[in-house]
Structure 1
Amino acid sequence: MTDLHTTRAILSNLIAFDTTSILPNRHCIDYLAAKLEDAGARVEIFGDETGKKANLWATIGPEGDGGIVLSGHTDVVPVADQDWTSDPFELVERDGKLFGRGTCDMKAFIAAAVAMAPEFAKHATARPVHFAFTYDEETGCLGGQALVEVLRERGLRPSIGIVGEPTEMRIIEGHKGCYEYTTHFHGSEGHGSAPDLGVNAVEYAVRFISKLLELKDALKSKAPEDSRFDPPWTTINTGSLIGGVAHNVIPGKATVQWEMRPVQVSDADFVKGELATHVEHLNQQMKAVHPDAGVHTHTIAEVVGLEPMTENAARDLITELTGANGCDVVPFGTEAGLFQSIGMDVVVCGPGSIAQAHKPDEYISLDQLDQCITMLKRLCSRLSTPRP
């Protein structure tokens, strides 16, 4: 109960920090750094170019490779236009549940990990435990990508990663990648009565979307026979089409926001190759009317998926700690694939349900939080045992 009380207190403070992705997270990172330093951790803070956002990397235990990483993102999604029954940035308890923005996605896991830091300090004599808390996961895993590059450059080689996204404490050993793009169309405005004299950016955006829909269908036939994902193929989603100012004006600008969730890298290469050919054709048509017209795609993020592995020390460890029977894969993305890309064995396992994430009255149940704390307490004994 003491561990749950401490975790709840830390979670309450974390929820009070409005770390919506468009806002700074530095105040939250500074709070976590102070808590971990009090527990004896060696803490480093890596700021972004603005100085307003930062990643935290902290270590308890001996120097060296083979450590266990506890990973979580500090940013949350907006609450604008959502109908909350309580202040989203104040932790409220009702009926065995803790309500607040970020409770399940994913500040509860961060709070539990930090609450257990003093216990880790007592037991981490043979193997280090690392804390990796990042910014801007919700907008493209930007902080995670930056942190992984730091680890790569320094040659740091932790062996196991536990990403505490909400899985109801199920072990997730695989998920799709997440590639996000914004494609801009620059046309030439004019009067709607003479459409041939302008370049209609919205119409060319529609042609681009039509190609996305064509590729969306084509990907279904490329699903690997042994794919465990639901759906088993790489998906494409057109998120928005923005353009135009009036009924009688040829729109000079349009923007398409879209994403794909690759099951395999070859699918992403296929889509990008097909689109490159299509965009070249669109550019030729647009520039034939106006030389400054054209199409440009801005890559928001290309975050690799978490590939299921035959041998996975992280999966084996969490299976022992939780007593879970079997593992799953999920379609949503996390930072797990980033850690896998630098040679770590990784799983996603954390308290709460993804069904509650991003919704009004987001919550985490006390039972789920207690299960997470139990797993982390059992982890302590592994820190006094050298890596196999």
Structure 2
Amino acid sequence: MLQTIKDFYMSTGIYHMDVPSLIMIGVAFVLFYLAIKKGFEPLLLVPIAFGMLLTNIPVAGLMDGPIYNANGEVEQIGGLLYYIYQGNKLGIFPPLIFLGVGAMTDFGPLIANPKALLLGAAAQFGIFVTFFGAIASGFFNPAEAASIGIIGGADGPTAIFLSSKLAPHLMGAIAVAAYSYMALVPVIQPPIMKALTTKEERKIKMGQLRVVSKTEKIVFPILATVIVSLIVPAAAGLIGMLMLGNLFRESGVAGRLSDTAQNALMNIVTIFLGVTVGATATAEAFIQPETLAIVGLGVVAFAIGTAAGLLIAKLMNALSKEKINPLIGSAGVSAVPMAARVSQVVGQKADPSNFLLMHAMGPNVAGVIGSAVSAGVMLSLFSGF
């Protein structure tokens, strides 16, 4: 009887628990706190944290791959999360997320003010600066550095997509950093925005955007797909799904598809993506000096992207008679619609009668396109490493 009890105890996760696993479970609890108590990106951080919790429970083996015998036959099937994770590994889940994002996005503010594309492009500057910083750190090769740099776009699905292709062993750390900084947009951006603009600049009021026709909204996703895919074929998967979702929305004849893309499908894929991304954050992969470097470089990338958008907006003001509020430049990062809301909040603190939200949505949705294009460029350049 005692031996039976002893054997049972030795088969438990309690017996096999070690300090690194306990640390990672603690990190999962911190993410639960940020998501549930503080409300930081709960739809993403809750499944990520739970996946991290599951993968660090000893012996559970939810991320273990299948075991084959000498004849190549499956002797033991893999864990549940291992099979769901293939959606990330094969680059399936991120484009499906983009499909839902496209179905929820109104490109009208961008079409009405094409100059917003420049602000969205400027915010991608942080990606490339951080890429060189990661190379200079000596910790990372070019493919890994490219995956880390994309954090600066503040686009979690794009970061997962690129890291799954170029640096799958870093996916957990990169995804956690990307989604954490997306959640912290209201904390990170305002000090940078205030430091780089004057109160007079923050008070600038912008005229009402022109009305965008239905024809323009239908033509835009088709034309954008063709142009971007021809220039950066590696970005066709992300851009194509983004624009397909938007065409569902704007065509007026695919309401059911639009509803499914932005609700049921989006929610299902978010669960699978989040849990399996968290499940890659094992103690062995996460508790490394490289992880701290990724976290540090990620915030640098995000800060530079925010600053670049603001500075380009100020430059545009210097070169143009039609003034724009430089605060909308910070919305060029791809955190939709949170970055645009931050521009609105900071602007209204300077002048309560100022309304910047719709103007900021132009650079914000341009940032989504920009981050996908940047990922395509990185993938084209470094897929051989």
TM-score range, shorter chain: under 0.3
Give me the TM-score of the superposition, normalised by structure 2.
Answer: 0.23
Give me the TM-score of the superposition, normalised by structure 1.
Answer: 0.23
In proportion to residue count, which structure has more helix? 2
In proportion to residue count, which structure has more strand? 1
Larger Rg: 1
